[in-house]
């Protein structure tokens, strides 16, 4: 159910796979030079893989964590068959704390934790982890179709970071919209921002779209204003790490700048995210914890220093105010001009 599809166009990449009792992850630190996999067998190793960006992207780290709970449960059950649930509880908190901004991580750990009292054995949790994974893929296909309907024929779009198959269970959110549109001939050009400093756009989005045969043009992040001023751009399409109750959106650093530029240039701005990325408990963007990552990510690339500075500012995310978001697209449909009431009403609807 979670495998790549032969029948759905542009659906060939999976960042995570549960196989032979292990979690198999594409090591995203090595792309695009090397496509290598890590076989993960412990909950602690899942937390480390999330922290170190072996696996990244909000939905993907939630799904990895769900499988991590299974690995933790199995380890405790083999050592202490009577106490495995009690022993697992503190591990769940450590797993959920691996990265702070993406709410999908907490959402997935909470879902696993709520199932714990009813689970008679660790493998009951595996069924739930597989379900979370499958739901994400199915949701992204629906979300992609909703988003694609909003694009004009032969659209020209900008995307930022990587909100693709690599960042999700499969198919992607922002890239899910682009995949769905490409499948119906609706995409003429995708501009991908490099996404300094970790280069998710240059390394991951470009790789993913090239693998699928969807034409992509890479640009320096700082080229976006000139691009919007001088060439046709219909939409900016991005993913999200957390959508607050009022519609403010945390996403990869640089997203806010793109939203400001889009508004100035009359370009529409779409955030594509599953409802698992919505956090009604966070009232607005000011309440979202922004992860700051090691300064070495800015001062050097893969251990090679390219900067004379000894200090750096490295927030991994920023917050785009809801007022700059034209549409939020989820697996349940489209929220135009998102605000507190529209989002609350949307979250009441069923898929």
Binding site for ligand MRU (CB under 6 A): 56-59, 102, 161, 163, 167-168, 173, 200, 239-241, 251-252, 316
Catalytic annotation, pick one of 241, 248, 279, 326? 241
- Shortest distance, position 285 Cβ to ligand MRU, whole Å: 14
Q: For residues 57 and 68, which CB has a smaller minimum distance to ligand MRU in the complex?
A: 57
Look at the block and give the residue holding tokens 């009813």. 118
Q: For residues 31 and 112, which CB has a smaller minimum distance to ligand MRU in the complex?
A: 31
CA distance 35 to 32: 7
Q: Which token pair is 118?
A: 């009813």
CA distance 169 to 232: 32
Torsion sign across C-alpha atoms 167, 282, 320, 181 = positive
- Shortest distance, position 161 Cβ to ligand MRU, whole Å: 4
- Shortest distance, position 87 Cβ to ligand MRU, whole Å: 29
Look at the block and give the residue holding tokens 């970071």. 161
Q: Write out the E strands in the chain.
A: 16-19, 22-26, 37-40, 155-159, 187-193, 216-219, 235-238, 242-244, 249-252, 268-272, 278-279, 300-301, 304-305, 317-320, 327-330, 333-336
Q: Do residues 58 and 102 touch, judged by C-beta distance below 8 A?
A: yes
- Shortest distance, position 265 Cβ to ligand MRU, whole Å: 21
Q: Do residues 269 and 260 touch, judged by C-beta distance below 8 A?
A: no
Q: For residues 45 and 167, which CB has a smaller minimum distance to ligand MRU in the complex?
A: 167
241 is catalytic: yes
- Shortest distance, position 200 Cβ to ligand MRU, whole Å: 5
Q: For residues 168 and 320, which CB has a smaller minimum distance to ligand MRU in the complex?
A: 168
Q: For residues 17 and 116, which CB has a smaller minimum distance to ligand MRU in the complex?
A: 17
Q: Which residue is nearest to ligand MRU (CB)?
A: 239
Q: What is the largest CA-CA distance in the chain?
A: 67
Active site residues: 241
């Amino acid at each position: 159910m979670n495998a790549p599809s032969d029948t759905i166009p542009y659906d060939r990449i999976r960042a995570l796979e549960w196989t032979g009792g292990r979690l198999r992850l594409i090591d995203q630190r090595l792309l695009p030079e090397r496509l290598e996999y890590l076989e993960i067998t412990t909950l602690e190793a899942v937390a480390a893989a999330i922290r170190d960006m072996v696996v990244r992207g909000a939905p993907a780290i939630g799904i990895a964590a769900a499988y991590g709970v299974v690995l933790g449960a199995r380890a405790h059950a083999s050592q202490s068959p009577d106490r495995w649930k009690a022993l697992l509880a503190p591990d769940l908190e450590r797993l959920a704390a691996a990265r702070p901004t993406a709410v999908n991580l907490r959402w997935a750990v909470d879902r696993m934790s709520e199932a714990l009292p009813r689970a008679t054995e660790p493998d009951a949790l595996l069924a739930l982890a597989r379900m979370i994974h499958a739901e994400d893929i199915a949701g992204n296909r629906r979300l992609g179709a909703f988003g694609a309907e909003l694009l004009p024929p032969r659209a020209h779009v900008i995307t930022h970071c990587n909100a693709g198959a690599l960042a999700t269970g499969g198919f992607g959110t922002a890239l899910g919209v682009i995949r769905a549109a490409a499948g119906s001939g609706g995409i003429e050009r995708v501009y991908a921002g490099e996404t300094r400093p970790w280069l998710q756009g240059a390394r991951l989005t470009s790789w993913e779209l090239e693998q699928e045969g969807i034409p992509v043009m890479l640009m320096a992040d700082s080229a976006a204003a000139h691009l919007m001023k001088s060439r046709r751009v219909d939409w900016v399409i991005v993913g999200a790490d957390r959508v607050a109750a009022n519609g403010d959106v945390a996403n990869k650093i640089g997203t806010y700048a793109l939203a400001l530029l889009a508004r100035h240039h009359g370009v529409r701005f779409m955030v594509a995210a599953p409802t698992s990325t919505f956090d009604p408990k966070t009232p607005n963007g000011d309440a979202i914890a922004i992860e700051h990552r090691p300064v070495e990510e800015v001062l050097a690339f893969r251990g090679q220093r390219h900067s004379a500075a000894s200090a750096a500012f490295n927030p991994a995310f920023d917050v785009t105010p809801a007022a700059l978001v034209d549409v939020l697209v989820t697996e349940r449909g489209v929220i135009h001009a998102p605000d507190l009431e529209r989002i609350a009403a949307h979250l009441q609807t069923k898929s």
